[in-house]
Structure 1
Amino acid sequence: MKQYDIAIIGGGPAGIMAAIAASRTSDVILLEKNPSLGRKLLLTGGGRCNITNNKPIKQLLTFFNNKNFLKHSFYSFTNENLFSIFDFDFVEEDDNRIFPESGRSKDVLDGLTDKLDGVSISYNFEVKSISEDFVINDKLKADRIIIATGGVTYPQTGCSPDNYALTNQPITDIRYGLSPLVTRKDLSGIAGVGLNDVVISYKKSRVRGDILFSHVGLTGPAVINLSNEISEGITYNLLEGEPVIDLEIAIDLCPDHSREDLMDRFTRDFQDKGKTMLKNYLKQFLTNSFIEYFLSEINLDGDIQLSRINKKSKNRLIENLKRFTFEIVDFNSKLSKVTIGGIDLKYINPKTMESTLVPGLYFAGEVLDLHGPTGGYNLKIAFSTGYLAGLAAAEK
């Protein structure tokens, strides 16, 4: 039976980074169930790979609920450490998102795999069992094991709920994260229409940003980020079944104007610009392609002149500009980007990523109960925890 110092299960960004770190001093094998590495990495950032977020670490940590757990890994493997791996340049876009200058995820994957010299890689290797003495599938043995199998999203990339059963580590509830939302109402008539810089809210959660209408519901950065709050506010566990959803979200279409501001402005403009049709007047507040749908939903005639709009209609217009609602009935799970939940952090050493229950067993990346908003935050988790796990396992 072949024996290795370290076996790493999962060839995604966390697993690859763990292999890079560990292989400097140890005999490492990387086990990947697919015929190639990094399938999910190739999908990130719309195929452009939003590799990380370039905010200062102290500020970056504020975006995570488990910031104290992540602190050591983020400082141990910084963005500067990450960039030094590659022989090409990166560009910074809005909200400090970092992409390869080429705009190609494949360049990032190639840059990482180029650093795997000396690492044994076994493709099409699905791990089905790990014994107490770290024998894997009764075929090979390792002194230490790093599990970086990801979550449950994008099953075509190799992610599976079965991966959580490889060990007896405690697991928190598994949920969809960063997911588009499915609406009760058919939105195919406005599919492709976007709204910029609006505020979307659910209960006490508010997210400002852009949204996009799809054939089945809502997507876009603001919706994707709000979906985390929705998912965490619902009791369900994907290891036991799909969630049942019936809730309402609201969009503030004019977040820079209060209801009082709009009332004052409308009162003045409806007199001064009385012959202007409502659909034309609303162009200063709404995307042109959304106006017709908006007016039909609130039962107002777009061809009516401003001077002919009564007080009741004016109040309805203002109320819907500030709170335009949609009923949500599901997550668009096929497009969910990350997993919420995973290996319980209470039993993981944040300075090494080693299990406190099983010495020599490490975890990295999305398999852990760690997640962040869209914008490079989740790959930051994968690379930093992967590096720390690989380094700690090799030093041990």
Structure 2
Amino acid sequence: MKEYEIAIVGGGPAGMMAAIAAEGKDVVILEKNQELGRKLLLTGGGRCNITNNKPIKKLLDSFDDKNFLKHSFYTLTNEKLLDLFRKKGLDFVEEDDNRVFPESEKARDVLKILKEYLEDVDIIYDFDVYDISKEGDYFVINDYIKASKVIVATGGITYQETGSSGAGFKILDTERTNLKYGLVPLIANYNFEEFAGINLYGVSVSYKDKSYLGDVLITHKGLTGPAILNISNEISKDLDYDLLENFNVKLDDVKIAIDLMPNVNKEELLSKITKDFQAKGKSLLKNYLKYHLTNSFIPFFMDQAGVDGEVKLGNVLKEDKQKLVNALKGLELEIIGFNSALSKITVGGIKTSAIDSKSMESIECEGLYYAGEILEPVGISGGYNLKIAFSTGYLAGLSASKAL
């Protein structure tokens, strides 16, 4: 049996960062794939949105679990995280919404540097962990690895082709929430074939009392884009299901609303439309809408709004003006499913109440730590989830190292 001071289960962002933080200790990473960081390579469309550079207090305010994440975020700040890569020659650029990407725009460059930091770490590939047991002061993994400390960073249960199979939840009996789809495209109850590829820029998407600003992309199957992915988290949280029991999730009576003109309120919009209609009375409604909407989206919009685009502006009835305003400020769409194969993260995981937030150590099992997507906290798109992975991984590795 091979013996180590620290065994890390999972070689994703959290696992790799945990190993880096445990520098100087005898560490092994147990990775089920044939390479490290498979999911990391897909983040940010292959560009790796490594973190979000909001001021740390504002960043924490973006999370429901901000008190749990606070210590890890301050332990590995964005500046400290990015400096790890700058020391190896990789610089970064900050784009809109404080999203941070490598200057090279290549996720593989981020992975390459992480691997450079792991030169003195043993890595065992194709290692599928099926059992972790504690025997005295040590942990035994698959009757093959013996370690004083174990860090579980096996990820979630979505995007399974990257290795996120939910194994960590099955191996250890630690209290968890239900596991759900997150940052997932939505399937709408419409045939979008002729509208596929249309972008709706800078809109606001809402579900019940939650809303997110961002772009929406219409696809053959439905809707995606940052605003849709973010609102999908809220829909998922609101539904009662658990992916460990069933991947086939049905949506019933789920509706979202898209505010196509979020920078103006209904009263202001109605006033503007009334003035425009008076000034351009001979123009057709469908042509007027080109000032506000993508041309190819107008037929679908008019159908949903219940207005006739062939009517001249001067002849539009008062009630139709109101229909138009209501649709522009809240185009309601029925959602019938998740495009589950493209779910980027898992909503839910090991409960924060079961973990010491100052160390990422299990409250019930001394020497056992958790990090990354296996944990309950989840963020919106834009670098938030990699921030969780890197920071909790670093804190877990540092804590396990200091405890030896």
TM-score of Structure 1 vs Structure 2, range by shorter chain = over 0.9
Q: Does 1:310 pair with 2:317?
A: yes
Separation (CA, whole Å) in 2 of partners of 1:113 and 1:41: 12
SS in 2 for 1:294: helix
SS in 1 for 2:202: strand
Report the number of matched residues.
Answer: 395
Q: Does 1:244 pair with 2:243?
A: no
| CA displacement 1:221-262 (0-9 Å, x = unmatched) | 111111111111111111122332121111111222222222
Q: Does 1:12 pair with 2:45?
A: no
Separation (CA, whole Å) in 2 of partners of 1:341 and 1:39: 21
Alignment partner, residue 21 of structure 1:
21
Separation (CA, whole Å) in 2 of partners of 1:80 and 1:299: 52
| CA displacement 1:288-323 (0-9 Å, x = unmatched) | 221122123334332332112222322222221122
SS in 1 for 2:356: coil
SS in 2 for 1:98: strand
The amino acid that maps onto 2:64 is: N
Alignment partner, residue 148 of structure 1:
153
Gaps of 5+ in 1: none
Alignment partner, residue 284 of structure 1:
291
SS in 2 for 1:26: coil
The amino acid that maps onto 1:12 is: G
Alignment partner, residue 380 of structure 1:
387
Separation (CA, whole Å) in 2 of partners of 1:157 and 1:370: 20
Alignment partner, residue 267 of structure 2:
260
Separation (CA, whole Å) in 2 of partners of 1:214 and 1:81: 39
Mean Cα displacement is larger for which, 100-109 or 234-243? 234-243
| CA displacement 1:313-348 (0-9 Å, x = unmatched) | 222222211221111111111111111111111111
Deviation at 1:286?
A: 1.3
SS in 2 for 1:144: strand
Separation (CA, whole Å) in 2 of partners of 1:132 and 1:236: 31
Separation (CA, whole Å) in 2 of partners of 1:49 and 1:125: 26
Alignment partner, residue 240 of structure 2:
235
SS in 2 for 1:6: strand
SS in 2 for 1:114: helix
Separation (CA, whole Å) in 1 of partners of 2:390 and 2:198: 35
Mean Cα displacement is larger for which, 321-330 or 306-315? 306-315
Separation (CA, whole Å) in 1 of partners of 2:58 and 2:325: 36
The amino acid that maps onto 2:240 is: T
Deviation at 1:188?
A: 1.7
The correspondence of residues 323-362 of structure 1 with structure 2, limited to 5 A, is: 323-362=330-369
Deviation at 1:174?
A: 0.7
Separation (CA, whole Å) in 2 of partners of 1:263 and 1:385: 49
SS in 2 for 1:3: strand
SS in 1 for 2:33: coil
SS in 2 for 1:149: coil
Separation (CA, whole Å) in 2 of partners of 1:200 and 1:185: 17
| CA displacement 1:117-156 (0-9 Å, x = unmatched) | 2100000010011122211111121111000000011101
Please, which of 180, 184, 187 is the counterpart of residue 185 of structure 2?
Answer: 180
Separation (CA, whole Å) in 1 of partners of 2:166 and 2:76: 29
Identity %: 55
Alignment partner, residue 192 of structure 1:
197
Structure 2 contact 305–331 (Cα < 8 Å) conserved:
no
The amino acid that maps onto 1:27 is: D
The amino acid that maps onto 2:190 is: K
Structure 2 contact 304–331 (Cα < 8 Å) conserved:
no
Alignment partner, residue 2 of structure 1:
2
Separation (CA, whole Å) in 2 of partners of 1:332 and 1:223: 12
Please, which of 279, 300, 304 is the counterpart of residue 293 of structure 1?
Answer: 300
Q: Does 1:47 pair with 2:49?
A: no
Please, which of 72, 90, 93 is the counterpart of residue 92 of structure 2?
Answer: 90
Separation (CA, whole Å) in 2 of partners of 1:85 and 1:260: 51
Deviation at 1:372?
A: 0.6
Separation (CA, whole Å) in 2 of partners of 1:72 and 1:313: 54
Separation (CA, whole Å) in 2 of partners of 1:255 and 1:53: 24
Q: Does 1:319 pair with 2:326?
A: yes
Please, which of 84, 100, 103 is the counterpart of residue 102 of structure 2?
Answer: 100
Q: Does 1:72 pair with 2:74?
A: no
| CA displacement 1:250-291 (0-9 Å, x = unmatched) | 111122222222222222222211111212211222122211
Separation (CA, whole Å) in 2 of partners of 1:82 and 1:271: 58
Structure 2 contact 155–166 (Cα < 8 Å) conserved:
no
Mean Cα displacement is larger for which, 374-383 or 247-256? 247-256
Separation (CA, whole Å) in 2 of partners of 1:274 and 1:138: 81
Q: Does 1:391 pair with 2:398?
A: yes
Deviation at 1:189?
A: 1.5
Structure 2 contact 69–357 (Cα < 8 Å) conserved:
yes
